[in-house]
Amino acid sequence: MAQGFSSCAQGHTQHLSVQLMGSEMESGTQGTPVLPEHLRNKHLDTLVEEHFFHIEDATLNAKADLGTLLGDVKVVLMGGAADRAEKIAVRLSTAFGWPVQPLGMRERYSLFKVGPVISMNHGIGSPSLMIILHELTKVLQRAGCKDVTYIRIGTSGGIGVTPGTIVVTSEGVNCELESVYEMTVLGKRRRLPAVFDKDLAEELAAVGKRLDFPVLVAKTMATDDYYEEQGRLDGAVDCQYSESEKMEWIQKVCEYGVRNMEMEGTALAAFCNRTGVRAAMVCAALLDRTKGDQTPDQASPEQMGQWVSNSQELVVEWLRGKFTPLTTAA
C-alpha cells in the first residue's frame, strides 16, 4: 500500500542578482515568454490604455517599468488566503535572503515579490483564480518574463488518504470525473484539458519523499462549491441525498484514482495549458472524506498547521534546487 493511502486506495550589503541553478530557469534573452506571440491577445493592441483592474496601483500598472520591477520573475506561488501568501513570502525571504516587496492594490488580492518569486493569493474558487491568472499573466508578459512556472500550494479534502498526505496533482477532474475545465464563452461551451505538467509533478513529489513527507501524485477533483458539489452533509439547505448516497459517490471517486478535492485545480491546469506556462499543484489533505466531512473530527489545529507548513516546505526545498541564496559582503 502506497505511503499516505488508507483502506479504499492503494550590516551586510546584499548583492541583489539572483543566481539560477539548472538549465530550465536560465536568465537572459533566451527562453519561452510567459505568453508567446501566437497566444498573446491581439485585442489588447487596440486599447487606448490597458488595465489590471483588480491589482493595479500607482506602481503596478501598464505605464510602469514592469521589466525593471518584475522582469526576473521565474516562479509564481499561489494559494487561497492572503495571510498565507505573506507567510510564504517571509519564509522565502528567510530561506534565501531575498527582500519582501509588496505589489499592487491589496483590496482583493495580495502579491509579494521575493527575489525571482511572486507569492500571491487567489481567493476561493475558479472564478477568483481565473481573474488573477489573466491579470498577473498580462503583467508578466509586459515585463518580458520567460520560462515562468506557476505552482498552487493549497489545502484540500483527502479521499482515501491519511490526513496530512501531500497530493501533487497529475490532472484535475470535474464532478463528472472528466479531466476538463468547462467555461461558457459567447453562449458556447468550451471544454479545456486539465492535465498538469507530468515532469514537474514527479519532480515535486520526489522532493517531498526526500523530506520524508507522505506524498503522492494523483488526480484531484475541482468543484464549484464547497458543500453540495463536494457531497457534504453540513451545508445550510436540504441537500436531497443521504449519507449512503454520499459515501457511494465518494467511493466511486476514490476508485477512479482521485485522492483529494478542492476548488481551483482544473482552472489552473486549463489556463496554463492554453498559455504554455509550466504548472503544478501541491495540496495537503486535511482529512479523509471517506471517514467524514468535519476536519476537526480528524485533526487538531496544530496538526493541520504542520501539514500546511509541510506543503510549503516541499516547494521551498524544490526552489533550493533552482536558486542559490543571496551572497553577502561586508
Residue 232 marked in a binding site: yes
Residue 230 marked in a binding site: yes
Give Cβ neighbours of residue 219 (< 8 Å, ≥ 6 apart). 169, 170, 171, 172, 173, 179, 256, 257, 258, 259
Angle at 56 between CA 67 and CA 46, to 5 degrees: 75
Q: Please name the residue that has the C-alpha cell 541583489.
A: 16
Residue 257 marked in a binding site: no
Q: Give the C-alpha separation, 230 to 299, whole Å.
A: 20
Q: Please name the residue that has the C-alpha cell 476508485.
A: 255
Residue 152 marked in a binding site: yes
CB 77, CB 118: distance < 8 Å: yes
Buried-state track 25-37, b at ≥16 Cβ within 10 A, e below 16? bebeeebebbbee
Residue 153 marked in a binding site: yes
User: Which residue numbers belong to the known binding site for substrate?
Assistant: 230, 232
User: Which residue numbers belong to the known binding site for phosphate?
Assistant: 108, 152-155
User: Which residue numbers belong to the known binding site?
Assistant: 108, 152-155, 230, 232
